[in-house]
Amino acid sequence: MDLAFLRPLYELPGPWASVYVGTSQHTEDTPHERSLTAQAASRQLADQGADEPTCRAVRAALEELRHSSEPHGRALFATGGEVVLDPALAASPPGGLSVEWSALPHTAPLLDLLGEDPVCVVAYVDRRGADFELRSALGSRDVGSVSGRQWPLHRTSSVDWSERHFQLRVENTWEHNAAEIADALAVCQEETRADLLILVGDDRERRAVHERLPQRLHDRTMEATRGAGSRLLDEDVERIRAEHVRRRAAEDLERFMAARAPDADGNVGAVEGVPAVIEAAREHRIDELLIIPDGPDTHREVWVGEGPDQLAVRRTDTKTLGEPRPWSARADDALLRSVIAAGAPALSLSPAVPQAGPQGAPAGGLGALLRWTERERSAG
């Protein structure tokens, strides 16, 4: 998951109020109940030591959600009397309300609560062309179409055509149309920045378009089993999105498990557990951070400084990093700050762990795929 949008949180010193609130209930009493929730969140922050301006800012932001029709909820990150970010959630937070006052923003739950809610382009394919539809959390809209050659696609009555000659012309026309559709779909994906492509149509037509897509799109393309002329329902799209997310998480977990083993030169491509992942973050070697947000060690106390690479397992270790007055933070939040600053992605493995079992998960719920150092590249 690309968490670059969280960078503004790390440009301010903190401490931070991190609030996750659910908005899935919608009844006549909802506005009153949400007002009570706003008061409760403000009290909890005050009890944890938050300053009054920040408590007021959080309460005011939550009060504004009294009449919200959002289906899941919001996360709010506030400091210095200001709500800095308030992203909408793609899943309801457990318990309906979570409040934390801490040195770093508590961003780790976003890996599951934002979900990877992929923006999709659905391509309704037939032998004449395709219609493209964009599906996202904001709804659906048409984003174009493509028409291929229209002739010959049906049997002609002319006696001048031999059966084989005609069939070859039909096949050539369809192959041309499949290539046209694939090219147009690739352009549509670039323009919409869609995370996922869904092909809908007859089996042969879907496969023909899929095979002609650029290689870079093969892993983000899925096929729906509905036949030509069928439209995808919202629940169909959600099921395909969930399968896409689970598959990506499973692939990353498989890569991680394979990379844990040393290669012929004794180098490993992955590490796990708090101490090893912290060391990799300090050395700017994390290529992708892997987290199970409710893993047993994600909340483990580590020590951090002002810089995103100033983090250590023990408080005394931070002195060697140039931080005379370190403060404590959760391991997952400290590591997320580090990888976001470095431009590396982070991924929740939660969708894949039930299938892989605990023996396949990173120790303590924290792992990382590593970048190679120049020395390792030379040795390889």
Mind listing the pLDDT tens digit of every residue in the chain (380 residues)? 778 899 999 999 889 999 999 998 888 899 999 999 999 999 999 999 999 999 999 999 999 999 998 888 999 999 999 999 999 998 899 999 999 999 999 999 999 888 666 688 898 988 778 888 888 765 677 887 787 655 444 444 444 444 443 344 445 567 778 888 899 889 988 888 888 899 898 888 889 899 989 999 988 888 887 655 567 777 788 788 788 888 888 888 888 988 988 888 888 899 999 999 999 999 999 999 999 988 899 999 999 999 999 999 999 887 787 878 899 999 999 999 999 999 999 988 888 776 544 556 899 999 999 987 544 444 44
For the structural domain made of 120-232, what CATH number should be given? 3.30.420.60
Which fold is adopted by the domain 4-114? 3.30.960
Same fold, 120-232 and 252-378: no
For residue 297, what are its two tokens? 């060690």
Side chain identity at residue 144, one-letter code: G
Q: Locate the domains of the chain by residue range.
A: 4-114, 120-232, 252-378
* pLDDT at residue 236, rounded to an integer: 82
* pLDDT at residue 115, rounded to an integer: 64
**Rounded Cα distance, 363 and 296, in Å:** 9
* pLDDT at residue 360, rounded to an integer: 65
Bridging pattern class, strands 346-348 and 286-291? parallel
Burial of 366 (0-12, 13-18, 19+ CB in 10 A): buried
* pLDDT at residue 119, rounded to an integer: 80
Q: Which of 255, 276, 242 is nearest to 356 (CA)?
A: 255
Element (H, E) at 304: strand 301-304
Give the count of alpha carbons within 13 A of 305, CB side only: 18
**Rounded Cα distance, 9 and 27, in Å:** 34
Phi, psi of 376, deg, nearest 5: -70, -40
**Rounded Cα distance, 335 and 295, in Å:** 14
C-alpha Rg value of the chain to the nearest Å: 26
Domain at 252-378, CATH from 3.40.630.30, 3.30.1330.30, 3.30.70.60, 1.10.287.3510: 3.30.1330.30
Phi, psi of 74, deg, nearest 5: -135, 155
* pLDDT at residue 7, rounded to an integer: 94
User: pTM for this one?
Assistant: 0.76
